Amino acid sequence: MADLLISAAGPGPRFAAVDDPADVIAWQEPATEAPGDRYRLMQAIGDAGVEAPFLYIVEQDVEAADEAELNRWYFEEHLPRLGGVPGVISARRYALVEGSARQYLAAYRLERQEVFEGPVWMVARQTPWTATARLLFRNPRRRMRMKL
């Protein structure tokens, strides 16, 4: 069984995109047998069991030749830095195991929407390694969601 299931409709907490309330997903950990995109947990920081009013998601594909470097950046720098920002309840990274979504997904549970793009968040994400790692993203998609 996968660690995470994201579906258009289904069990689990539902989150709407802040910029498009009609864009709703159901977020379920651990995954059930319902249809949707299934992910394997790769890295976890913070308390994933705590409900959060906001969920910031970053998805991307990566070329096979760049995969090891992107994963190293996430594991060693990026997820720990963003996961340590005050107001971040948890930071988790997943790899797609089944479905049509992008290869990787990073999810940040936030106490408040303002945590994202706040001054501490901005400092945490502005490093030389981040500048080069982001060049490896293919088909990136970012979305801030709020719990319904």
Which has the closest alpha carbon to 88: 32, 35, 46?
A: 46
pLDDT digits (tens, 9 = 90+) for 31-83: 888 899 999 999 999 987 788 999 999 999 999 999 999 999 999 999 999 99
Do 3 and 36 contact (CB within 8 A), yes or no? no
Q: What is the pTM of this model?
A: 0.95
Letter for the amino acid at 9? A
Both tokens assigned to 105: 């997904």
The pLDDT value recorded for residue 18 is 96
Residues 6 or more apart whose CB falls under 8 angstroms from that of 4 comprise 27, 28, 29, 30, 31, 38, 39, 41, 94, 105
State the Cα angle at 22 between 15 and 20, rounded to 5°: 85
Beta bridge partners of 24: 16
